[in-house]
Amino acid sequence: MLQHLFQFLAGSFRHIIKGSKTYYAWVAFLLVLIGVGAVGYVDQFQQGLIVTGMRDQVMWGFYIGNFTFLVGVAAAAVVLVIPAYIYHWGPIYEIVIIGELLAISAIVMCMAFVSVDIGHVERIWHFVTINFPRSLLAWDVLVLNMYLVLNVTIVSHLLYRAFRGKPPVAAFVVPLVLLSIPAAVSIHTVTAFLYSGLGGRPFWNASILAPRFLASAFCSGPAIILILLQILRKTTGLQIKDAAIHKIAELMAYAIFINLFFLGCEIFKEYYSGTHHLLHTQYLFFGLDGHEGLGLFAWPSVIGTMIAFVLFMVPATRHNFFTLNIGCVLLYFSVYIEKGIALVIPGLTPDTLGEVYAYHPSRHEIQVAAGIFGLGFLVFTLLIKVAIPVALGKLTYQDKNAPAVEAAEPPATAHA
């Protein structure tokens, strides 16, 4: 067992340090991002959160927005297993692995965003007196950690078995994969409840918030997966059929439609009833009291989603990889705004006593966020760099009696 682990680590290390120039450049770029973020965070840790744009009126901002968006990515990545299984996309375990690794990386980023947002990160152990079940933040911490453990367990099992050259133990892993699907839905639902449970914040205090969260997650998550699958099948030996990609795109068209429909429902309710609760939506799209508002972000987000809907709905553009990828990028950034800044900020502006404080993320916040994205992408890159050769049987356990370890490794993997 120990010997397996040692060989696995040694083999992983060899795969991680070997790669093309593009790979090295990419990893170096991510390391630079992480460094920039670390510098920003050290400064924030010393001076306090005063270096952010947040204040008492708008006490949550860019960090929590990124957290919310990434919970959606983590959730959607795993739910894609269902269509992959139903429509026989081919290497189902490989698709499971990619989805779960993306989920793991997204959860790592989520935890990092929460950690940089709190005033006393060294007090994290105070969760020993967790306020469960009353606090939804307590729920969120619990479900996110459980989800992380679940995904790590599944991926470890699949990779360990593949490394040993054996098929996965279906009786062990299939129930866990099935469990990971409701778990994925639950993490995003709980994250939505974190907001919608607050009576004092009418912009969030809506039953439709959780369904909207899920609908938008099923737009952004698959958008990332589609691009990843295209990259991975070019750079590794992974076989993904065009039909599978087109099917995901078709399913995404439904998700985009539902997301736009939910948005329409909210717009109708807010504007037709025209209560004071409308102020938040007005701030989002048009600004208030001479403050510019978030129109610069909100409008591109809505229009981007609409364009993506057309691109994904029309078969010709859906099957054309160029237009498909444009749709994916548009969708990714639209949801990034929708579930980030356009969710958190208008919920808090105007504040509960009617004051409009115009929040803008500070240099520190952008710097730290860039670092966390760098960290997440690095985690994902390294995990994939090891996982794909293992899954494809290119990195396997070699018995000591068969000394041809190096020779057995095909040089093709170095292209990744």
- Residue 397: DSSP 8-state: -
Q: Are 78 and 136 in contact (CB under 8 A)?
A: no
Tell me the window of 17-25, 86-94, 157-165, 346-354 that interacts with other proteins (CB under 8 A): 346-354
Q: Which residues of 405-415 are buried (b: 16+ CB within 10 A; e: fewer)?
A: eeeebeeebee
**Cβ of residue 79: shortest distance to other proteins, in angstroms?**
27
Question: In the stretch 150-169, what mask flags binding to other proteins with x, by CB under 8 A?
Answer: --------------------
Q: Are 362 and 52 in contact (CB under 8 A)?
A: yes
**Cβ of residue 291: shortest distance to other proteins, in angstroms?**
13
Work out whether 354 is an interface residue with other proteins (CB under 8 A). yes
Site for other proteins in 220-279 (CB under 8 A): 276, 279
Which amino acid belongs to residue 250?
E
Tell me the window of 98-106, 221-229, 345-353, 404-412 that interacts with other proteins (CB under 8 A): 345-353
CA-CA distance, 366 to 116, in Å (whole number)?
12
**Cβ of residue 166: shortest distance to other proteins, in angstroms?**
42
352: helix, coil or strand?
Answer: coil
Work out whether 137 is an interface residue with other proteins (CB under 8 A). yes
Residue 205's Cβ-side half-sphere holds a number of Cα atoms within 13 Å equal to 9
Q: Which is nearer to other proteins, 74 or 114 (CB)?
A: 114
Judged by CB under 8 A, the residue of 3, 20, 22, 131 near other proteins is: 131
288: helix, coil or strand?
Answer: strand
Sign of the dihedral through C-alpha 115, 117, 118, 119: positive
Q: Are 373 and 33 in contact (CB under 8 A)?
A: yes
Question: In the stretch 178-197, what mask flags binding to other proteins with x, by CB under 8 A?
Answer: -------------------x
**Smallest Cα–Cα separation from 298: which of 331, 255, 337?**
337
Q: Which is nearer to other proteins, 136 or 209 (CB)?
A: 136
Q: Count Cβ atoms below 10 Å from residue 147 Cβ, excluding itself.
A: 23
Q: Which is nearer to other proteins, 58 or 102 (CB)?
A: 58
Residue 348 backbone dihedrals phi, psi, to 5 degrees: -105, -5
Site for other proteins in 66-125 (CB under 8 A): 114, 117-125
Work out whether 350 is an interface residue with other proteins (CB under 8 A). yes
**Smallest Cα–Cα separation from 242: which of 320, 323, 326?**
320
Instruction: Tell me how many residues contact other proteins (CB under 8 A).
Output: 47
Site for other proteins in 49-68 (CB under 8 A): 49-50, 52, 54-57, 59-60
Tell me the window of 47-55, 91-99, 213-221, 245-253 that interacts with other proteins (CB under 8 A): 47-55
Work out whether 348 is an interface residue with other proteins (CB under 8 A). yes
Which spans of this chain sit near other proteins (rule: CB under 8 A)? 47-50, 52, 54-57, 59-60, 114, 117-131, 134-138, 141, 197-201, 276, 279, 348, 350-355
